[in-house]
């Protein structure tokens, strides 16, 4: 069972408040009765007044409120299993998280721009499976192949330049790790989308792309940054404290290496697109996906959760309806039983 609107659980605080108001009201009535006269005489003057009925009405009212709150929360219960068949391709997003991606030559910076692009691509996907890899000097698996796009976006937003400890940029490591995400025996089309500024501190990117091509992978590279480049700000709590410098204490200028990204894409009959314009990237990826053959995934079973709020709301109105007809005077047939030997 899962709760659809958990925020309404805060309304449960109303229940103890109602009980508190009831007790305060009872205390006030009893105090006024004492001021009016002797309690025993007052009870004889109102023999039909029930002590238990007000408590019963309170319990019924509290149950009705509880049912209404549960109805607002909308509990959903998996009532059946159904077979779901998906048809699409496997896509891995390789995200460059090296320090150069903090450069702000593309607003707000290269890394955040990459996140925006990937998020928008995910929004336009249908039944494709996706995975995420982060890389700098080495590659790190962020999310395995999945069809849960909401989880993918959550992991995507949590990525930063500290997720991979090794410095530099190794495109070949990203390609090699991404290749492990794909099932070699599967006939499902394999697409790797690499987002990077193209600065590569390794020598094996082209060779890795050749191996990827042998595995049936197609690589699309998305260049993030400008050829003019920019500095890499060093921030503390969002405030710039300085700029990254090299060993000679010169401010580092990081530039987009478009040629290197184009070579990688060409090796796998893929393509290159500039990531500075999100719409252009989305259009390019859409055309690429339209030209890739879709295959049927292995059938999976999913729980079909159904809302149960109507039962709780209906029961709440039934209890409120009963509460209207519950009078505070004694019930005749209960009175005749004289359970507490009150009659004299």
Supply the mean pLDDT for the chain: 84
pLDDT at 80 over 60: no
Name which residue leads in pLDDT, 131 or 307.
131
Confidence band for 341, pLDDT divided at 50, 70 and 90: very low
Residue 337 reports pLDDT greater than 50: no
Identify the residue whose tokens are 């999976």.
Answer: 300
Is residue 343 a part of any domain in this protein? no
Do 156 and 277 sit in the same domain of this protein? yes
Question: Given this model, what pLDDT does residue 339 score?
Answer: 43
* Domain identity same for 156 and 70: no
Which string of b and e fits 195-216 if b means at least 16 CB within 10 Å?
bbbbbbebebbbebbebbbeee
Mean pLDDT of 85-99: 90
What pLDDT is attached to residue 31? 76
Q: What's the average model confidence in pLDDT over 148-159?
A: 92
Using the predicted structure, report yes or no on whether residue 344 has a pLDDT greater than 50: no
Q: Which of 216, 289, 21, 270 is nearest to 29 (CA)?
A: 21
Whether 141 and 288 map to the same domain: the answer is yes
Let me know whether 142 and 263 are in one domain.
yes
Q: Is the pLDDT of residue 49 over 80?
A: no
CATH number of the domain that 250 lies in?
3.40.50.410
Q: pLDDT for 204-255, tens place per residue?
A: 889 999 999 999 999 999 999 999 999 999 888 888 889 999 888 999 999 9
Number of domains in the chain: 2
Q: Which residue has the higher pLDDT, 298 or 315?
A: 315
pLDDT at 110 over 90: yes
Q: Is residue 254 part of a domain?
A: yes
90 vs 295, which has greater pLDDT? Answer: 90
Please check whether residues 109 and 256 belong to one and the same domain.
yes
Who has greater pLDDT, 57 or 120? 120
| Sheet of 190-196, strands arranged across | 139-146, 129-135, 90-96, 190-196, 217-223, 271-274
Residue reference for tokens 């336009």: 124
Residue 344 in any domain: the answer is: no
Q: DSSP label at 124?
A: T
Q: Percent of the chain at pLDDT above 70?
A: 83
User: Is 241 within a domain?
Assistant: yes
Question: Taking CA 184 as the corner, what is the angle to CA 183 and CA 186, rounded to the nearest 5 degrees?
Answer: 65
Per-residue confidence at 55, pLDDT binned at 50, 70, 90?
confident
Residues 43 and 74 in one domain: yes
Q: Are residues 59 and 138 in the same domain?
A: no
d(CA 181, CA 92): 8
pLDDT of residue 32: 72
Of 52-56, 119-123, 137-141, 167-171, highest mean pLDDT: 119-123
- CA–CA–CA angle 336, 339, 344 (5° rounding): 65
Domain that holds residue 220: 89-296
pLDDT per position as a tens digit, 267-301: 999 999 999 999 999 999 999 999 888 887 654 55
The proportion of the chain whose per-residue pLDDT surpasses 90, expressed as a percent, equals: 45
Q: Check whether residue 282 and residue 317 sit in a common domain.
A: no
Provide the pLDDT for residue 324: 77
Looking at the fold, whether 116 and 247 belong to one and the same domain comes out as yes
pLDDT single digits (tens) 194-203? 999 988 767 7
Tell whether 251 and 163 lie within a shared domain: yes
In terms of pTM, does the model score above 0.85?
no
31 domain-assigned: yes
Same domain flag for 149 and 264: yes
The H or E element that residue 88 is part of is strand 87-88
Quick one: pLDDT at residue 267?
92
Q: What is the pLDDT of residue 5?
A: 79
329 or 9, greater pLDDT? 9
Quick one: 263 and 333 in the same domain?
A: no
């Amino acid at each position: 069972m899962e709760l659809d609107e958990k925020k309404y659980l805060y309304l449960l605080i109303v229940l103890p408040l109602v009980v508190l108001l009831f007790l305060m009201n009872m205390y006030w009535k009893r105090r006024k009765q004492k001021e009016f006269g002797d309690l025993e005489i007052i009870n004889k003057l109102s023999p039909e007044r029930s002590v238990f009925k007000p408590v019963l009405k309170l319990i019924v009212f509290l149950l009705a409120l509880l049912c209404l709150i549960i109805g607002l929360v909308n509990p959903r219960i998996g009532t059946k299993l159904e077979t779901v068949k998906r048809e699409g391709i496997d896509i891995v997003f390789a995200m460059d998280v090296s320090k150069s991606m903090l450069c702000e030559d593309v607003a707000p910076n290269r890394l955040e721009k990459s996140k925006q692009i990937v998020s928008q691509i995910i929004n336009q996907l249908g039944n494709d499976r996706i995975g995420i890899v982060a890389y700098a000097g080495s590659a790190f698996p962020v999310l395995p192949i999945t069809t849960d796009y909401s989880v993918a976006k959550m992991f995507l937003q949590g990525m930063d330049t500290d997720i991979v400890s090794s410095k530099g940029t190794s495109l070949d490591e990203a390609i090699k790790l991404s290749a492990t995400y794909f099932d070699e025996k599967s006939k499902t089309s394999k697409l790797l989308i690499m987002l990077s500024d193209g600065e590569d501190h390794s020598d094996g990117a082209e060779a890795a792309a050749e191996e990827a091509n042998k595995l049936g992978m197609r690589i699309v590279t998305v260049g993030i940054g400008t050829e003019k480049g920019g500095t890499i700000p060093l921030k503390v709590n969002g405030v710039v404290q300085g700029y990254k410098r090299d060993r000679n204490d010169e401010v580092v200028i990081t530039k987009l290496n478009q040629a290197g990204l184009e070579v990688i894409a060409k090796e796998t009959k893929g393509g290159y697109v500039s990531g500075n314009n999100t719409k252009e990237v989305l259009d390019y990826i859409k055309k690429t996906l339209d030209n890739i053959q879709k295959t049927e995934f292995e059938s999976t079973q999913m729980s079909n959760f159904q809302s149960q709020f109507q039962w709780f709301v209906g029961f709440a109105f039934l209890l409120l309806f009963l509460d209207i007809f519950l009078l505070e005077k004694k019930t005749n047939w209960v009175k005749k039983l004289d359970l507490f030997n009150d009659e004299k």
